[in-house]
Structure formats: structure tokens, C-alpha cells
Homo-oligomer: A and B are copies of this chain.
Amino acid sequence: MPYVNIKITREGGPEGNGPTPAQKAELIKGVTDLLVQVLNKKPDSTMVVIDEVALEDWGIGGLPVPEFRARKAARQT
């Protein structure tokens, strides 16, 4: 009985606005296979929910992701 929630920032993918349905299907398959291999869980009772989160709604280092990355880039130049 596993339940997995994957939260990712909405970016990347072919259009730059998030993963494709095929990439999401890979995540779902991959994490389900992992639970089967490591813990012998049954796929049919394994649920996966993917949430895409806008960049402005995700913070790290006390900053929204875009500002965090801009500062990091500035420090490295």
C-alpha cells in the first residue's frame, strides 16, 4: 500500500513549461517499479500523484526559485 507524491517545479520539458505526459508516465512507472524491487509492493495498490508547482510558489534559501537561481548565478561570475 504505497502512496507517492512527487512535487516538481513547472519548468523543463519540450516547451519549457513542464514535463510531457510521456515523462510523467516514466516517473509513475519508475517509482512503482522501485517500490516493487526494494519492498516487494504490489503495483495495483501503489498510487502516485504528481504536482507541478509554479516557480514563484517554490522557495529555497529564503527566496523564490527564480531569485535563488539568479543570485547563485551572479555569485559564480
Contact = CB atoms under 8 A, between A and B. Distances in A.
A3 B1 CA distance: 12
A21 B56 contact: yes
A27 B34 contact: yes
Contact of A27 (B38, B44, B48): B38
A25 B64 contact: yes
Interface residues of A, number: 52
A65 B1 contact: yes
Contacts of A60: 1, 44-48
A50 B62 CA distance: 13
Nearest to A30: B34
Interface in A42-57: 43-53, 56-57
